[in-house]
Amino acid sequence: MSRKYETTVPYRPEMINVIRAAFDHGVTFFDAAEAYGPFEVERILGEGVAPFRDKVVIATKFGWNIDQETGKRLPGLNSRPEHIKLVVEAMLKRLRTDRIDLLYQHRVDPEVPIEDVAGAVKDLMDQGKILHWGLSEMGLKTLRRAHAELPVTAVQNEYSMLWRGPEKEVLPTCEELGIGFVPWSPLGVQFLTGWIDANTRFAPGDFRGTESRFSPENLPYNLALIELVNKWAERKNATPAQIALAWLMAQKPWIVPIPGTTQREHMHQNIGAVAIRLTPAELAELNASVAAIKIRGQRLPDTVQVFSEVEAPPKR
């Protein structure tokens, strides 16, 4: 990759320190994507884990239409087999590694059969460049077709106390097929940390300002969930974020949340969630209380909703 396309960000050294501190405290699974930046998160992660690469698992994602030379986002999605192979070569360089432990299709491409996607990933697996693969926010038919073509290791969808959509069909399907589940936004885009309240107004460019669940009309109703989480945090001598993460991990042993952070303090709090134990009785009580709160509004803005639960076209 030509240096003229490298970017320099003021927080890079601190982010590398956060990654290495996380590893020192037992974190061994790191999640990235070409679209984050684009490219910058992969570069930072590659540098951050370089001293202990063989002791961690790196996950990243393809699927958006991004020029691998310039980093320019182009319209739509792109999971054409030839593009996937080009993307993976660039990822390996950015991540400073010879293999990607877990490669996700970030969003289903409605123009490319999932069998063709699986075929490209299998070719890369045969070359030792990919060890496992997964999907994110896919339709259930697509998941089953993908798994039949090439066994899927993990699904990454939004899931938290704030958004429990996967419980209806996705989680049962994963359990049936033996697929792990990785919740993105396990803290409900910071909502479950208690950072957002009835007076919160989001800055221009903050996507949460476009989500109707955080609108001035809906937010006051949805704060009942924060009240519940705060009560449990006091009860378990924990932070609200730790309760939200512990709740996820208590649902199934094969659920692995990936909270993101840019601050060491928050990273240490997140790691502390592992020590929070919910007895079967406590989990049943908490589940019932969460289910009784009806969240108002959608989880994604209308412009993004089209990329969720998309089914791949049939094999040509």
Which amino acids are annotated catalytic?
36
The closest alpha carbon to 143, from 167, 109, 170, 180, belongs to 170
Is beta strand 57-62 parallel, antiparallel or unpaired with respect to 29-31?
A: parallel
Q: How many residues are recorded in the chain?
A: 316
Q: Is residue 185 left, alpha or beta, with left meaning phi > 0 and alpha meaning psi from -120 to 50?
A: left
The closest alpha carbon to 226, from 265, 257, 198, 268, belongs to 198
Lay out the sheet containing 130-136: strands in order across: 29-31, 57-62, 100-105, 130-136, 154-158, 180-184
Residue 184 has a CB neighbour count (10 Å cut-off) of 18
CA–CA dist 241, 98 (Å, integer): 35
- 275 is written with which tokens? 């020590």
The closest alpha carbon to 149, from 130, 137, 133, 136, belongs to 133
What are the residues facing 156 on neighbouring strands?
Answer: 136, 182
- Distance of CA 122 to CAs 21, 68, 83, 151, Å? 34, 21, 14, 10
Question: Under a CB-based contact definition with an 8 Å cutoff, are residues 133 and 152 in contact?
Answer: yes
